[in-house]
A and B are shown apart, each in its own frame.
Chain A
Amino acid sequence: MSRKTLTIALMDPPYESENLTTAFRILDVAARRGYDINVFAYEGASGLAFIRQTPHPNPVHGKDVAEENHPTTKDQVTALLAEAEKNGGKVDWVNCGMCVDERGVNEFVPGTRRGSPADFHAFVEASDNVLVIPTK
């Protein structure tokens, strides 16, 4: 059986919605299975791979930075790329160029790239399945 190609389009910004937690759970499974994965990070999701994200302490919970171990989406993206590679798959993570310019987040973790809606169209054409997770 040929290797599967899955495309997921994301729109939610980091740190605001459970949609992204669900998306990363799906992406993690796909990476563990060695699928080829395309991600089109659109609108707010274009900040997921922004490299200057910084973890913070949590004074409400009384935890310093180390104890809080705050999750950053850039680390999740990096881990996803590594997991896919480990299992023989690959991730083509595209950050919408206009979206990153609007937000000033045009610096990505290595292994992701700048792109456009044309990339998403190409992804759709080449995929076994496509999942779009829009904002509500």
Chain B
Amino acid sequence: MEEQDDTILWLMAAMQGAGAEHTVVLRGNAVNYAVAGQGVPGLTVGDWKQTQAPKMDRDVLDLMEKRKIPVYVIAEDLSDRGIESGELVPGVQLLSRAALPALFADYELVSHW
């Protein structure tokens, strides 16, 4: 995660403006992005304050609602981390690891960031 965004989710949104069509799969530690209500306190160094800290749940919601980009999370990666599906941003879809190949088959290109 960068200072104000996740670089790759940001890139998805930015490339959509150039005509790219994406679907997002969050796996591994990235499943944490989809947890609703999370917050990152802005960094403070002396008198300097970060006013625009990252809000990952907002960015995931933005992908789905504003940009109509489907977002999946790997169910096993959620359970490995003790995250319940009810904790996720509404609209995020669960996907099992076993179902990934079938999803990939629907796309021309798969990018693993």
Contact = CB atoms under 8 A, between A and B. Distances in A.
Contacts of B17: 59
A82 B46 CA distance: 7
Contacts of B4: 58, 61, 68, 70-71
Given A60-B5, A71-B3, A83 B51 contact: no
Contacts of B46: 28, 31-32, 79-80, 82-83, 86
Contact of A24 (B1, B14, B43, B52): B43
Contacts of A32: 46
A16 B5 CA distance: 11
A75 to B, nearest CB: 6
A13 B17 CA distance: 28
Given A58-B4, A68-B4, A70-B52, A24 B45 contact: yes
A58 B10 CA distance: 10
A28 B52 contact: no
A28 B1 contact: no
Q: How large is the interface on B (under 10, 10 to 19, 20 to 34, 35 or more residues)?
A: 10 to 19
A21 interface: yes
Interface string B35-68: 0000000011111101110000000000000000
B2 interface: yes
A25 B44 CA distance: 7
B14 A21 contact: no
A68 B3 CA distance: 11
Interface of B: 1-5, 7, 10, 13-14, 17, 43-48, 50-52
13 contacts: A15-B3, A21-B43, A27-B45, A28-B45, A31-B45, A69-B50, A69-B51, A70-B52, A76-B43, A76-B45, A79-B45, A79-B46, A83-B47
Interface of A: 15-16, 18, 21, 24-25, 27-28, 31-32, 58-61, 63, 67-71, 75-76, 78-80, 82-83, 86
